[in-house]
Chain A
Amino acid sequence: DTGVSQNPRHKITKRGQNVTFRCDPISEHNRLYWYRQTLGQGPEFLTYFQNEAQLEKSRLLSDRFSAERPKGSFSTLEIQRTEQGDSAMYLCASSPPWDRGSNEQFFGPGTRLTVL
């Protein structure tokens, strides 16, 4: 399977704990996105990487959230001191270099976070 993969698929944690999610994009894709989706809503943009550079961050990404893509391949999203309001599905997407003529974003299956 050469699609976008995310781990873990589900995470249950207690309020105040730190959690980290991982995203492995499609191998030739240099662009990577994180989105958050709450129940009954469409996904909301969180952040965007081109290679290892984080080019854009949403205001939704508070100081407790940090995302990295150190070698321009996989990415991690860490949430510190989790709150119940952080409960959501965290989606990762990747897309090929813009000069390939396609901006299609391929989504992973998501990590569902539940904060008790």
Chain B
Amino acid sequence: TQLLEQSPQFLSIQEGENLTVYCNSSSVFSSLQWYRQEPGEGPVLLVTVVTGGEVKKLKRLTFQFGDARKDSSLHITAAQPGDTGLYLCAGETLRFKLIFGTGTRLQVFP
């Protein structure tokens, strides 16, 4: 069974702080995606990483894919209240279905 563990599960921080969310698995995925989900809405894709060791930046968000394509991290610099939400990593399998992580709920206080 392919599982993705995310840590931490919950994160409450002040505006301006930095944070890192981790996504770990014992399985290799063809790609790994990060989503953000607002309450009552579907997940929205932030980034897809494909190559082992790949680093992608999206404004204040930095995503890294592990060399072995089993793990990933999301780093947010100078968090803002608008970053509040549920962050999900998802590994893509050979049949294109996504295996989602357990999620990290982020709350950024002004």
Cβ of B82 under 8 Å from chain A? no
For B6, what are the chain A residues with a Cβ–Cβ distance below 8 Å? 42
Shortest Cβ distance from A45 into B: residue: B97
What distance in Å separates the Cβ of A12 from its nearest Cβ neighbour in chain B? Answer: 15
- In the complex the two chains form, is B100's CB within 8 Å of A56's CB? no
Say which one of A13-21, A62-70, A100-108 lies at the interface with B. A100-108
Known contacts A42-B101, A107-B43; 13 additional CB pairs below 8 A are A4-B42, A41-B103, A42-B100, A43-B88, A45-B97, A45-B98, A56-B97, A98-B96, A103-B31, A107-B42, A107-B44, A110-B41, A112-B40
Interface Cβ pair total, 8 Å cutoff? 60
CB proximity of A58 to chain B, nearest CB, Å: 8
Looking across the interface, which residue of chain B has its beta carbon closest to that of A40? Answer: B103
Main secondary structure of the interface of B (DSSP, over half): strand
User: A53 → chain B, closest Cβ, in Å?
Assistant: 13
In the bound complex, CA of A93 to CA of B40 (Å): 15
Cβ–Cβ < 8 Å partners of A43 in chain B = 43, 88, 98, 100
* CB-CB under 8 A for A42 and B97, given A105-B45, A109-B40, A109-B41: no
Contact B41–A105 (Cβ < 8 Å)? no
Q: How far is the CA of A43 from the CA of B102 in the complex (A)?
A: 9
Contacts of A95 in B (CB 8 A): 96
